[in-house]
Amino acid sequence: MIRKRRLWWDFKLKFHENQASLVHDILCMANVIHERDRYIIFGVSDDLEIVGLSKDNKRYTQADIIDCLRNLHFAENKIPVIQLSYLSEGGKELATLCISNVSDKPYYLTQDYQCGKKTIRAGVIYSRTGDSNTPVNRCAPPGDVVAMWRERFGLDLPPLERFLPILEDAVNWEYDGVNKGYYKPDPAYSIETESIKEGGTGNYWWQNIEYQKPVRDEYKLKYNNQILITVPVISFRDEGLTFPLPDIDTLSYPKSGKKYETDFYADIFSFMKGTLSYSLFYHIRGLHTMPGHDIDLKMPLHTQTKPPIIKLPFLIFNTKQEKVKILKTMIQDLPVFDKTCGSQYDPNHDDVQKRMEVDKKFSWWAFNNFFI
């Protein structure tokens, strides 16, 4: 026997036969007001006994569930972040569906979704009260809906943390066409930009593209005209491509003393949702979106205003846990790349430019093998 159902976890005997029922459960869990991730565990009976999954019942893969969600019409294209895992308990197979706690709630559809006799209604916000889901023909309690929107807009957060959702609301910013902008619903939040370095060489291969050098700017995020933080931003002016300096994780480098040492820099460039750099990245992409087009967050990173010349193999992680897991796998597979491409650089004879060519190949190898 296991613990009873709670607001943030539920149990099912088997996987849903009806996909609308699955989507309804995910929506209810995703919209729960709770600080941690939420879980649906499959293979548990109604009296909370572990019975395991039957081989005769319907099964899903993580890709099945993600594809199902992506094919629905979610408001603002904000889709719940899920992870499906299989495990064994006492010789019985269970499945755990984790729905990440993300401040994008409330999640809801903008078009009805019907499967069989069950319909998820457009514009309706579902959640949970105690250990029960909001029925499909009802709405979540008004108090819970208010709490979701307050979390979405960061109304209960300190100014710097509240900047994250405000930045992502790019359509409500007004810029003077020079170097200043403010948030129209709350002008106390503003941004001032300053160019601090003309194009030139840098430490990373993408800063040394032969036909165009980037400019480094500073974005000063202000509250009541006081600087909260200054963020470095990179801009390829001729390309029309601007983005915050990404997070940089160096998996190995020359004379690093790491378990597996390389003659090149095995750098991973990324943004992670729920961080200031990602929110500013989202904001800048929103400002540079062509009229009538949606924000393009697809990778590799490229300009949105013309056919791209520059493409950068940056990664986007949904959660810290996802990032840690993928970087760990990359480190394990690092010798595979090193044996095929790392050997193309000889530190005793080749110059830095040659090494950066290998650095670039590694970035694309990581992107193609772990992101696409």
Largest CA distance in the chain: 71
Q: For 30-85, how does the pLDDT look when each residue is reduced to its tens digit (9 = 90+)?
A: 999 988 899 999 999 888 888 999 888 889 999 999 999 999 999 988 999 999 99
Q: Report the alpha-carbon distance of residue 195 to residue 17 in Å, rounded.
A: 57
pLDDT of residue 204: 94
Q: How far is CA 315 from the centre of its chain?
A: 9
User: How many residues in total does the chain contain?
Assistant: 372
Which pLDDT band, with edges at 50, 70 and 90, does 133 fall under? very high
Q: Report the alpha-carbon distance of residue 192 to residue 222 in Å, rounded.
A: 8
Specify whether the CB–CB gap between 14 and 54 falls below 8 A: yes
More confident residue, 341 or 122: 122
Q: Report the alpha-carbon distance of residue 10 to residue 93 in Å, rounded.
A: 17
- Note the pTM of the prediction, 2 decimals: 0.69
Q: Please tell me whether residue 12 adopts helix, strand or coil conformation.
A: strand
pLDDT of residue 211: 82
Which pLDDT band, with edges at 50, 70 and 90, does 157 fall under? confident
pLDDT of residue 198: 66
Q: Report the alpha-carbon distance of residue 198 to residue 213 in Å, rounded.
A: 8
Three-state DSSP string of 127-173 = CEECCEECCCCCCCCHHHHHHHHHHHCCCCCCHHHHHHHHHHCHHHE
Stretch 180-195: mean pLDDT: 95
Q: Smallest Cα–Cα separation from 232: which of 208, 212, 216, 215?
A: 216
According to DSSP, the residues that pair with 133 across neighbouring strands are: 128
Across 27-51, b (16+ Cβ under 10 Å) vs e yields bbbbbbbeeebbbbbbbbeeeeebe
DSSP-derived secondary structure letter, 44: B
Q: Reply yes or no on whether the pLDDT at 1 is more than 50.
A: no
Task: For 222-234, give the DSSP string.
Answer: EETTEEEEEEEEE
Q: For 266-304, how does the pLDDT look when each residue is reduced to its tens digit (9 = 90+)?
A: 999 999 999 999 999 999 999 988 777 788 888 999 999
Task: For 309-371, give the DSSP string.
Answer: S--B--EEESSHHHHHHHHHHHHHHHHHHHHHTGGG--TTT--HHHHHHHHHHHHHHHHHHHT
Residue the block writes with tokens 């105690």: 130
Q: For 77-114, how does the pLDDT look when each residue is reduced to its tens digit (9 = 90+)?
A: 899 999 999 998 888 999 999 999 988 999 999 999 99
More confident residue, 196 or 321: 321
Specify whether the CB–CB gap between 64 and 70 falls below 8 A: no
Helix (H) or strand (E) holding 292, with range, is none
Q: For 313-365, how does the pLDDT look when each residue is reduced to its tens digit (9 = 90+)?
A: 999 999 898 999 999 999 999 999 988 886 776 766 678 888 899 999 999 99
Residue 123 tokens read as 């514009």
Stretch 171-181: mean pLDDT: 94
User: Integer distance in angstroms from the first to the last C-alpha of the chain?
Assistant: 41
Specify whether the CB–CB gap between 140 and 29 falls below 8 A: no
Residue 7 tokens read as 């607001």
pLDDT of residue 56: 85
pLDDT of residue 68: 95
Residue 26 tokens read as 């995910």
Q: Report the alpha-carbon distance of residue 20 to residue 259 in Å, rounded.
A: 48
Give how far Cα 265 sits from Cα of 50, 106, 243, 331, 363, Å.
Answer: 48, 41, 22, 13, 10
Which pLDDT band, with edges at 50, 70 and 90, does 255 fall under? confident
